[in-house]
Amino acid sequence: MSALVSRGLEKSFDALRVTRDVNLDVEPGERRLIIGPNGAGKTTLFNLICGEIRPDRGSVTLFDRELTRVPSRRRAHLGLSRTYQIITLFPRDTLLRNVMLSLLGLDRLRWSPFVSLGAQRHLAESARRALDRVGLLHLADRPMAHTSYGERRRVEIAMALAQNPKLLLLDEPFAGLSIDERGDVQKLLNAIPRDVTIVMIEHNMDVALEFAERISVMHFGEVVVEGTRAEVVANPRTKEIYLGE
């Protein structure tokens, strides 16, 4: 059983074809890296996997469950969670409340218009555990606007981990971070247990190559190279894409 399978995924916006016949097969517990130049279709691929946009053709399977026609709001309930390239948090709310809001989306209370988030102790406890997991419990009551960029990245990861995903999609988690902040996030990701499969998009090659076990290289919407770190780095097609050789 594979953790994630995509077959023939294609998506066009008017005359622009963004993904072309994308096939992935990610094993449970694997650390997969997806790389490629800007405009290669990497984030669009994540959006297709999460159901935020519909494919024109192809299918997505999560642990043998066909997802192609499953609404995006249901996919989190099936064990799929993600972060975004552009951080999407509530700056006036505290770190704790941001994580609680991510948990509310999976709770039956989300259907109640009268729910008081502050009264939901079970959500607060789960949110505190998630913040502790990323080393930010001591900042739980701090407004998001008063945190560093690196801390916000870690909060976003905490929000994803709080949902107990089986598959975690990370869209450039190291983007914009200082050297010290990259080290913090790298330690955090290395500590995630193997019962969580991770697929990551990243441009910081030094950090990303150390993290990944298998790599898929995308170019103009297609997966053009795939293999281990050594195989991908040595492949002439990779050098052509990144170095113009």
pLDDT at 119: 57
Question: To 5 degrees, how large is the angle CA 174–CA 130–CA 30?
Answer: 55
pLDDT at 111: 43
pTM of full prediction above 0.75: yes
> What is the dihedral angle through the alpha carbons of 5, 6, 8, 14, rounded to the nearest 10 degrees?
180
Cβ atoms of residues 94 and 143 within 8 Å: yes
22 Cβ neighbours under 8 A, 6+ residues apart: 6, 8, 9, 10, 41, 45, 58, 218, 221, 222, 223
Positions of the chain with pLDDT lower than 70, given as ranges: 105-119, 243-245
Cα of 72 vs its chain's centroid, Å: 14
How confident is the model at residue 241, as a pLDDT? 85
What is the pLDDT at residue 243? 59
Cα–Cα distance list, 159 to 49, 197, 243 (Å): 19, 16, 36
The CATH number of domain 4-79+165-243, selected from 3.40.50.300, 3.30.70.20, 3.40.50.1440, 3.40.50.410? 3.40.50.300
Give me 218's structure tokens.
């995308």
Domain ranges within the chain, ordered by starting residue: 4-79+165-243, 92-155
